[in-house]
Amino acid sequence: MTAAPPQSRLPRHLAVIMDGNGRWAQRRNRPRTLGHRAGAKAVQVCVDFCLSRGIEALTLFAFSSENWNRPEEEVGALMKLFLRMLDSEVGELNRRGVRVAFIGDRTGFPEAIRERMAQAEALRPADQKLVLTIAAGYGGRWDITQACRSLAADVAAGRLSPEDITETLLDSRIGLAGLPAPDLFIRTGGDLRISNFLLWQLAYTELWFTETLWPDLSDEVLDAALAAFADRERRFGLTSAQVAGGAT
């Protein structure tokens, strides 16, 4: 067994595309919705892992803007699962120091879910250890568009001039504002793409992909991702020598 990376080499913020629920179920000749239920258990594995490793922020892609186009039955089952998870998990998460937030367009969600989302976001753990952000009804292009729309409204109202618009200002209007950008992105399920997840926020994020299907997630898989991350040199456009603090 390899030693765990030191805290300084751990990601502060982990962003995850939880893919492979449907295939996990289909391989067992079971309905896709069973895969989502198994996926909900893997969410707990992931949250427990982040808490145990001292990771400060976890952002999970639970439902994309495009997922609304899935068969009605699957969307309905996912809505039921979200509602059940919000009812059963949020209180316990809060007690364990997990603050819950949501990013995405909530307009398509049933009122009961939107209410639970607002209630969950109003809770503030006494001793905050982790910020868990659930991306629901989310798309990276939607996120950039809504940030632009909010800036444009300020310009139209005379509160802002176009010259005042900087990357920092746009960043403050986008999902996850207030959190450091994700350091590490993980996608399970074997596909090598970003699928309209955090398009703005992932600019300098390290990417890691695994064939493991989301319901099969384990500490071993997540530790492998952390080990790969600890070996990466993050240069943010600089040279290796600059990063090492040597020649400029």
Annotated binding site: 19-24, 32, 36, 64-66, 68, 70, 187, 193-195, 206
**CB nearer to ligand FPP: pick between 82 and 142:** 82
DSSP for 57-103, written as a single string: EEEEEEEEGGGGGS-HHHHHHHHHHHHHHHHHHHHHHHHTTEEEEEE
Q: Do residues 120 and 132 lie in contact, with contact meaning Cβ atoms separated by under 8 Å?
A: no
Whether the Cβ atoms of residue 208 and residue 183 lie closer than 8 Å to each other: no
- Interface with ligand FPP (CB under 6 A), residue from 22, 139, 140, 175: 22
**By CB under 6 A, which span of 17-25, 114-122, 194-202, 232-240 interacts with ligand FPP?**
17-25
Element (H, E) at 35: helix 32-53
Distance between CA atoms of 163 and 151, rounded to whole angstroms?
A: 11
114 vs 116: CA distance, rounded Å: 5
Pairing of strands 13-17, 57-64: parallel
Single residue of 11, 20, 137, 182 touching ligand FPP by CB under 6 A: 20
43 part of the interface to ligand FPP, by CB under 6 A: yes
- Binding-site positions for Mg(2+) read 19, 206
Output the smallest distance, CB 154 to ligand FPP, in A.
Answer: 33
- Does the active-site annotation cover 183? no
Structure tokens at 17: 């595309």
x-or-dash string of contact with ligand FPP, 108-137, rule CB under 6 A:
--------------------------x---
- Residues 155 to 214 in contact with ligand FPP, rule: CB under 6 A: 189, 214
Q: What is the C-alpha separation between 35 and 26, in angstroms, rounded? A: 8
Q: Is 139 in the site for ligand FPP (CB under 6 A)?
A: no
Taking CB under 6 A as the binding criterion, the range among 33-41, 100-108, 156-164, 196-204 that sits at the site for ligand FPP is 33-41
Among 34, 51, 75, 81, binds ligand FPP (CB under 6 A): 81
CA distance 129 to 56: 6
Question: Could you confirm whether 29 is annotated as catalytic?
Answer: no
**Shortest Å, Cβ 13 to ligand FPP:** 17
| Binding status of residue 12 toward ligand FPP by CB under 6 A | no
Report d(CA 211, CA 220) in Å as an integer: 13
* 93 lies in the binding site for ligand FPP (CB under 6 A): no
Tokens at residue 190, please? 């074997």
Count of residues in the chain: 248
- Can you give the binding site for ligand FPP, defined by CB under 6 A? 18-23, 36, 39-40, 43, 60, 62, 67, 81-82, 85, 134, 189, 214
